[in-house]
């Protein structure tokens, strides 16, 4: 019987393709960012997103492209991400 650690090491970790914005007051399970931080990144054009909405409806769902989110987070030093948070009024 194979060792559990060896089995886990041989299987690639699945990464989501899209993420929903977290609920207000919660953090994204994938990135640890708040809804506001993710929305600011989308609005500024740093992160790609897709809005799914039926014609004639007011509400839909916004899906964030996980790969572009990871790319943006990796390309920015932690200080820049913290500055975006403090500009919005949150704690650093």
pLDDT tens digits, residue range 18-73? 999 999 999 999 999 999 999 999 999 999 999 999 999 999 999 999 999 999 99
- Domain spans of the chain? 16-87
pTM over 0.85: no
Question: CA nearest 69: which of 36, 35, 30?
Answer: 30
Q: Which residues contact 38 (CB under 8 A, 6 or more apart)?
A: 21, 22, 28, 31, 47, 64, 69
């Amino acid at each position: 019987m194979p060792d559990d650690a060896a089995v886990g090491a041989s299987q690639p970790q699945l990464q989501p393709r899209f993420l929903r914005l977290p609920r207000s007051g919660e953090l994204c399970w994938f990135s640890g960012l708040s809804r506001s931080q993710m929305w600011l990144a989308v609005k500024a054009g740093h992160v790609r997103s897709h809005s799914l909405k039926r014609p004639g409806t007011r509400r839909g769902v916004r899906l964030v492209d996980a790969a572009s989110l990871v790319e943006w987070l990796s390309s920015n030093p932690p200080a820049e991400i913290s500055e975006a948070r403090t500009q919005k009024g949150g704690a650093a």
